Structure 1
Amino acid sequence: MEQRHLGRTGLRVSRLGLGTLTWARDTDDRDAADQLKTFWEAGGTLVDTADVYADGGAEYLLGRIVEGMVPRRDLVIATKAGSVLEADRRVDGSRRHLLAALDDSLERLGTDYVDLWQVHAFDPATPLEETLQALDTAVSSGRARYVGVANFSGWQLAKAATWQLAAPAVRARLASAQMEYSLLQRGVEREVLPAALDLGLGLLPSSPLGRGVLTGKYRHATPPDSRGASEHLAPFVAPYLDDAAGRIVDAVATAADGLAVTPLQVALCWLRDRPGVTAPIVGARTAQQLRAALSVETLSLPDEIRRALDDVSAPVHRYPDHDWSTL
């Protein structure tokens, strides 16, 4: 698999990442092990998890599998901290919480360090510089090699990255931003993606297949073994089952028919090759589903297909995104 630099850093990662959102919950030990082995044998290196996935179970499962299957040096392990499961608070970006969460993640993963440590979300109740100091501490202590953020808006991302760049000798440069991005969700193109490109951050798109909808599996019904039928994930899929999404999915299916490939391949290939994208994070329930995603390695979309998909899925951006003098 082709390797790409993560933003303006020396870290190279596979241009597809393996997500673990469902591990230890909807994906059992055996299926998770099959996925990791399949991914590694295909040349994949970037494996993404988080401390809240299955209440820490995904990290624990990943650590156990890696220990007996894959050399640690062959993987770029990324995890996240900052989301909390308390009833009265959803985000905690305090230095106290983040560094304690990192230590807990390392213990579950069975490793001394993570390659990429990400703040899971912006915390408006904590000064941003305090959150970023936790990232600096993680790098200076050797517990994290690189750091990034996830689910930050454009101004939040720009503020954080600029703060870190202001004192490069003592602050850890942000390497990446993980955001939801797909043909069904192009909101990052308004401000986040331009900021990431300007500041040298690599974009790691999550839900690159529109939470599974872009595979076409929901065009006529909800498969009983799909995320849309899962008690935990049905609300996650539901927003992308409206008429507007349906028109985009139909266009993807038409393109796939014309190219004699699958809708999954078309949607994933479109995103993988977007400007600023380093590696879409693919979450699969089984190794068979993962192999289908990995099959895009040799596929490139013709320009006319790419332009047609751009047009059918184009978000509406008006002032101030366009030149005011033309309005």
Structure 2
Amino acid sequence: MEARRVGRSGLIVSRLGLGTMGWGRGTDTDDAAAQLAAFVAAGGTLVDTANVYGDGDAERMLGTLLPDVARRAQVVLAATTVGVGGGRRALITALDESLRRLGTDSVDLWQVHGFDTGTPLEETVSALELAVRTGRAGYVGISGCTGWELAAVAGWAGAQGGPLVSAEVEYSLLERSPEESVLPAAAALGLGVLAWAPLGRGVLTGKYRHGTPADSRGASSSFARYVNRHRAPGADRVVDAVVTAAQGLGLAPLTVALAWARDRPGVATAIAGARTAPQLDAVLAADATVLPPEIVAALDEVSGGPAH
């Protein structure tokens, strides 16, 4: 699998990342182990997790698998802290808790999610700098931000000696809003983009075109609202275009949607999560596909026009 540099940093990641959002909630230990083994065997390195996935169960599960299923050195471990505010003490405490669950002294990339208007920006940035200075994190980034927030945090971080390397955003043919400000800001600042939900939360696979499969995330009480975010008016036209393109190329819709997001300018990696090992196999099989320029242009147009 192709390796890419995250922005202008020294951090190198696989161009497909393994998401763990469903681990502990629909994905059991055996399936998680099979996923991790297949991902590493395919040359994948970036494994993405967060403190809120399964209320910490995803991190615990990953922590038990790393010594046995894959060596720690084989994995670029990215951890995101969500929901603790922007205070330095709360962020560092949450990071330490994640490290304990993961069974490691440090993560390769630590990202803070969201923007806390109640906390001075420089305090949040000081937590990022502290994490790098104390060896808790090799690199730092932020997730779920606007372009101006990204620029502001990057400015403070550079001044404090803990420069950002990444911006993590939801990005797919059904979610192109990052092109308005986040992607241009990341490009100007030399940051790499980590694109999550490149399959439009599963909607771009076409599985929901004629209803909700009983074994899908859309039928799950834990994930229905997550999926339904993209089962909205206008989405059908985009999904139909993906399916049509896939049929013309002799590919699966999943492959088309994933290749589109993975190869957008500035994207270092596209993070795809799977409920089962066979679903991940389909994701990994898509890695070799490069879409023809005319297909990319057509998908750009139907989903809202080319990036600015």
The Cα of 1:30 is off from its aligned counterpart by 0.5
The Cα of 1:38 is off from its aligned counterpart by 0.6
- Equivalence for 1:144: 137
Q: How does 1:46-85 map to 2 (within 5 A)?
A: 46-84=46-84
Q: Partners in 2 of 1:163 and 1:138 — Cα distance?
A: 15
Counterpart code for 1:143: R
Q: Quick check: 2:300–2:306 contact (8 Å CA) kept in 1?
A: no
Q: Partners in 2 of 1:62 and 1:50 — Cα distance?
A: 11
- Equivalence for 2:211: 221
Q: Percent identity?
A: 57
> Are 1:94 and 2:84 counterparts?
no
> Are 1:34 and 2:34 counterparts?
yes
Normalization by structure 2: what TM-score?
0.98
> Are 1:239 and 2:232 counterparts?
no
Q: Partners in 1 of 2:82 and 2:283 — Cα distance?
A: 29
Q: Quick check: 1:82–1:97 contact (8 Å CA) kept in 2?
A: no
Q: Partners in 1 of 2:38 and 2:69 — Cα distance?
A: 11
Normalization by structure 1: what TM-score?
0.92
Q: Partners in 1 of 2:229 and 2:70 — Cα distance?
A: 37
Instruction: Write out per-residue CA displacement over residues 174-231 of structure 1, whole angstroms, 9 at most, x where no aligned residue.
Output: 0101100000000000000000000011100111100000000000010011110000
Q: Could you tell me which of 157, 162, 167 is aligned with 1:164?
A: 157
Q: Partners in 1 of 2:240 and 2:106 — Cα distance?
A: 44
Q: Secondary structure at the match of 2:66?
A: helix
Q: Partners in 2 of 1:130 and 1:147 — Cα distance?
A: 15
The Cα of 1:316 is off from its aligned counterpart by 10
The Cα of 1:100 is off from its aligned counterpart by 0.4
- Equivalence for 1:273: 263
Unaligned runs of 5+ in 1: 85-91, 322-327
Q: Could you tell me which of 72, 75, 100 is aligned with 1:107?
A: 100
- Equivalence for 2:121: 128
Q: Partners in 2 of 1:252 and 1:66 — Cα distance?
A: 36
Q: Partners in 1 of 2:168 and 2:182 — Cα distance?
A: 10
- Equivalence for 2:246: 256
The Cα of 1:310 is off from its aligned counterpart by 0.4
> Are 1:210 and 2:211 counterparts?
no
Q: Secondary structure at the match of 2:201?
A: coil
Counterpart code for 1:212: G
Q: Quick check: 1:95–1:134 contact (8 Å CA) kept in 2?
A: yes
Q: Quick check: 2:47–2:77 contact (8 Å CA) kept in 1?
A: yes
Q: Secondary structure at the match of 2:96?
A: helix
Q: Secondary structure at the match of 2:35?
A: helix
> Are 1:297 and 2:287 counterparts?
yes
RMSD over aligned CA atoms reads: 1.3
Q: Secondary structure at the match of 1:212?
A: helix
Q: Quick check: 1:7–1:201 contact (8 Å CA) kept in 2?
A: yes
Q: Secondary structure at the match of 2:117?
A: coil
Q: Partners in 1 of 2:29 and 2:58 — Cα distance?
A: 10
Q: Partners in 2 of 1:110 and 1:47 — Cα distance?
A: 15
- Equivalence for 2:163: 173
Q: Quick check: 1:187–1:315 contact (8 Å CA) kept in 2?
A: no
Equivalenced residue count is 308
Q: Could you tell me which of 151, 154, 178 is aligned with 2:147?
A: 154
Counterpart code for 2:114: A
Q: Secondary structure at the match of 2:77?
A: strand
The Cα of 1:287 is off from its aligned counterpart by 1.1
Q: Partners in 2 of 1:39 and 1:148 — Cα distance?
A: 24
Q: Partners in 1 of 2:75 and 2:285 — Cα distance?
A: 20
Counterpart code for 1:286: T
* Alpha-carbon spacing, 1:123–1:315, altered in 2? closer, same or farther (3 Å): farther
Higher CA-based Rg: 1
